[in-house]
Structure 1
Amino acid sequence: MEIGIDKPKQVIGGENIQGWNSEERKVVEVVLTKPLMVAAGDDSGDVEYRTPNLVQRVLSLFKNVRPGSDLTSFQLPPSFNYPKSELQAYGEMVYCAGKDILGECGGAGDPLERFTRVVVWSISTNRPAIFGVVPYNPVLGETHHVSARSLNVRLEQVSHHPPVTALHATDHRHGVNMLWFQRPVPKFQGTRVEVEVQGKRTLKLVEHGETYVMNSPNMTIRFIPPAVDWTGTVKVSCRETGYEAELNYPTSSFFLGRRSSSKHSVTGKIYKTSSPPAASPPPGKCNNNMHSTVKIRDPNGGGERVIYNAKEVASKLKAPILKDPQSVLPSESASVWSEVSRGILSRDWEKAKEAKRAVEEKQREMAKARKSRGEVWVPKYFTPSNNGGDDPYEYSPIEKLVPPAPIVVPF
């Protein structure tokens, strides 16, 4: 006698993230804000998001949190949020740049130069963060779809426990195909928060048949004195050419209250497997922030040259615009959090608090309803790679190419 086991029903994410019907979809509203910027020489960040007694308020949040505690599910009031979801913040690292660094990766005829440009792109994604404010934690099934030049980018929150974001970007014109899977794991360490960023990025240059694999740096948030730094080691590799790179983001040190020269710096080398370094150090020790340059040493003794100018990346950045309102999904980040963002931008903290509570409560109700019906959430645009458990946060895109988005970045 065989006993049958019913498989859980699957619920596809995307349009019904908030339980809206097709008629309600016609009135989807979005709030789009300018890309995050950091004022030159000011670690406190954009004045638009600064609040009085910020350090004191931040420390008060953690007074009952033990060192070593996982902050993944830690809830922040809207006064500590800037008006963007984490999906939008990740996406801006890819599509918000005054110079098309990603598109240029496949333009060089020399393999070493292509590899160097990929390293430059990796560095360009690590924009300075703003101390004391963070983006919204994405809800399950939330999406973000934006086009910039010929690049189309789509993100989806594919898991909530643990929180995992998947990004797929394609540029048919330049032959670029990118996947980015990210899981931040923040832990409280007494005087700082250490954020381990798990997952990987895979960048394919289709015309050259090359695949570049890299990880993300971690982030350290210090309370006294207040500072946010990218830290740790990033490794970039290309199996087809044999080139590899190691980029080190040192933790800033303090002496007598003064910041060391390691602030926002990156050092490293490019080398070929089983051979001497091809270029050392690329980028030589120098600042990597919104108003600095990164240099590389010519392996043939030709001196140093600038490979990255942060001002070019940060210049002429504008807020995305809504090009096709009828095509925006209710799951779009700018729609899901629109009322919260309106409250933050108008400094109506009570309105923002109520709107944020409504979004989070709706997600809890939907999760409870799925559980009662025996349903399992399935991402709309990605599927688990089933790679034997080596990387549980890796997904495959369902579509080969990301289509043009209803939200575009003007240049």
Structure 2
Amino acid sequence: MSLPVSRVYCDDKGGEQQNKSAWFQFIKSIATFKGDLATLTAPPFLLAPQSIVEYSAYWAEHPHLFIAPSHEENAERRALLVLQWFLSTLKRQHASKDDDGRRKKLKPLNPFLGEIFLGKWVDHTGTTQLVSEQVSHHPPATAYKIWNDMHGVRLEGHVAPKAYFTSTINIERKGYSVMHIDKYDEDYWITMPKAHIEGIVTFQIAPELSGTSYIRSSSGYTSRIDYSCKGWLRGRSNSFSATLYRDNDKDNPLYTLEGRWSDSYTVKCGKGKLLDKVNLVALEKTPLQVAPIEKQHPLESRRAWKQVADAINANDIFVVGQEKSKIENAQRALRREEKAAGETWQRRYFFQAKADPVADNLSIGVKGTVEHDEHRMVWKFDDDKYRKIIESQRQGIKSPTHTRFDSGVGFIEADA
């Protein structure tokens, strides 16, 4: 006779000690794990109700900053505006608390191969479009394109995170972005900083940025951003120091920006004169618009993960594990079927390119930021395919790209 299984809910009081115990068990298990930590299952209480594929939206939460460089005729000041736009993208993506001061769940859902996220921002700058797609699963990689046709600005890139453990959880993000400004036929090559987790021992879990990231322009300017965090004796959390200089003249910065990427920073000219103080908390955000769940494609993130996200928001650990396993098992079944048929998954919006001349050219001289080996993956947006999909949607024609349960949610072992 089987015993009835009751659902497990985590409330703020009774579940806190249980969460701490699960957290330390998790840390204990990863301390001896070899390989990418992304392949491990995190405790349910850590899971955020959104997928990593949605993180591409952080690039353009402030469309007026995204398009601002297109209206600056001076190349030096354009480079400064691009740097300031980049700094505005860090807070919501990495801060440990949301806009209401509540501690966020820090482990996003791992996207499945082919997962997409589509949206747009509409305000006085016009319409800024977003297309994001999980283009690789082993290793994981998300490709994205964001563009505003009215102002001729577009951002295209990919990020391939890899997590590992050395006294704490560390996250490297290989890949890069390239911003292009049509009016000046100008490119900016952009890299991301490393991240790690603070507060493991105290259970005050919070992400922190470290290392160095770069922005290099085809007009001859480089921005270097160095990240630091609160140490045992001094320092402040979420700190950074950035310098903007002409290429090959880094000892004579044109601008210096210092502060906290989660709060505010100052802008000074090369001689040290204060030019501005920017309050990142007060920046106005434009809401991202996405299609209603029922009208989304089966591949779209919020539709595919809806049951999991609902269970996370309800603190229902049992359903979280149950619904998450359905998708993961279905994806494994799809991969087995493809392998047996000698097929590979066809990406919906992106393709793998052999090279990226813009990135290769602008990364010259920046040590350790682009992987110059034959296994490096470069993902490019397929504009023709995107236009065909949009035109088919206008005519009411369904996509023929995948005929069976695109998200894998409805694909069970019995169907294989």
- How does 1:246-325 map onto structure 2 within 5 Å? 246-255=224-233, 260-275=234-249, 279=253, 282-284=256-258, 286-289=259-262, 292-299=263-270, 301=271, 303-306=273-276, 308-313=278-283, 315=284, 318=287, 320-322=289-291
* Unaligned residue ranges in structure 1 (runs of 5+): 1-46, 407-411
Deviation at 1:321, TM superposition (A): 4.9
Letter matched to residue 174 of structure 1: H
- Match of residue 393 from structure 1: 377
Deviation at 1:237, TM superposition (A): 0.5
Q: 1:233 aligns with which of 209, 212, 215?
A: 212
Helix, strand or coil: the match of 2:245?
A: strand
Quote the Cα distance in structure 1 between the aligned partners of 2:238 and 2:129: 29
Closer, same or farther: CA 51–85 of 1 in aligned 2, 3 Å: farther
Q: 1:91 aligns with which of 40, 51, 56?
A: 56
Helix, strand or coil: the match of 1:65?
A: helix
Between Structure 1 and Structure 2, which shows a larger proportion of helix residues? 2
Deviation at 1:73, TM superposition (A): 0.7
Letter matched to residue 115 of structure 1: A
Higher relative contact order (CA 8 A, sep 6+): 1
Could you give the per-residue CA deviations for residues 110-155 of structure 1, whole angstroms, max 9, x where no partner exists?
1111101111122122223437631100000000001012110111
Please tell me whether the aligned partners of residues 177 and 203 of structure 1 are also in contact (alpha carbons under 8 angstroms).
yes
Please tell me whether the aligned partners of residues 225 and 242 of structure 2 are also in contact (alpha carbons under 8 angstroms).
yes
Quote the Cα distance in structure 1 between the aligned partners of 2:141 and 2:53: 10
Quote the Cα distance in structure 2 between the aligned partners of 1:209 and 1:51: 55
Identity value in percent:
20
- The alignment status of 1:366 with 2:334, answered yes or no, reads yes
- Match of residue 3 from structure 1: none
Deviation at 1:276, TM superposition (A): 5.8
Quote the Cα distance in structure 2 between the aligned partners of 1:343 and 1:218: 31
Closer, same or farther: CA 76–276 of 1 in aligned 2, 3 Å: closer
Q: 2:83 aligns with which of 98, 107, 119?
A: 119
Deviation at 1:234, TM superposition (A): 0.5
Letter matched to residue 57 of structure 1: A
Deviation at 1:393, TM superposition (A): 2.7
- Match of residue 174 from structure 1: 151
Letter matched to residue 160 of structure 1: H
Please tell me whether the aligned partners of residues 121 and 286 of structure 2 are also in contact (alpha carbons under 8 angstroms).
no
* Unaligned residue ranges in structure 2 (runs of 5+): 1-10, 97-103, 356-371, 394-416
Quote the Cα distance in structure 1 between the aligned partners of 2:131 and 2:325: 26
Please tell me whether the aligned partners of residues 106 and 205 of structure 1 are also in contact (alpha carbons under 8 angstroms).
yes
Closer, same or farther: CA 298–66 of 1 in aligned 2, 3 Å: closer
RMSD: 2.8
- Match of residue 215 from structure 1: 191
Please tell me whether the aligned partners of residues 23 and 43 of structure 2 are also in contact (alpha carbons under 8 angstroms).
no
Closer, same or farther: CA 319–181 of 1 in aligned 2, 3 Å: closer
Closer, same or farther: CA 82–323 of 1 in aligned 2, 3 Å: closer
- Match of residue 107 from structure 2: 134
Please tell me whether the aligned partners of residues 204 and 212 of structure 1 are also in contact (alpha carbons under 8 angstroms).
yes
Quote the Cα distance in structure 2 between the aligned partners of 1:76 and 1:66: 14
Quote the Cα distance in structure 1 between the aligned partners of 2:190 and 2:85: 11
Deviation at 1:334, TM superposition (A): 0.5
Closer, same or farther: CA 270–396 of 1 in aligned 2, 3 Å: same
Closer, same or farther: CA 183–307 of 1 in aligned 2, 3 Å: farther
Quote the Cα distance in structure 2 between the aligned partners of 1:336 and 1:174: 33
Deviation at 1:78, TM superposition (A): 3.1
- Match of residue 69 from structure 1: 34
Instruction: Provide TM-score, normalisation by structure 1.
Output: 0.77
- Match of residue 244 from structure 1: 222
Closer, same or farther: CA 390–262 of 1 in aligned 2, 3 Å: farther
Q: 1:342 aligns with which of 307, 310, 314?
A: 310
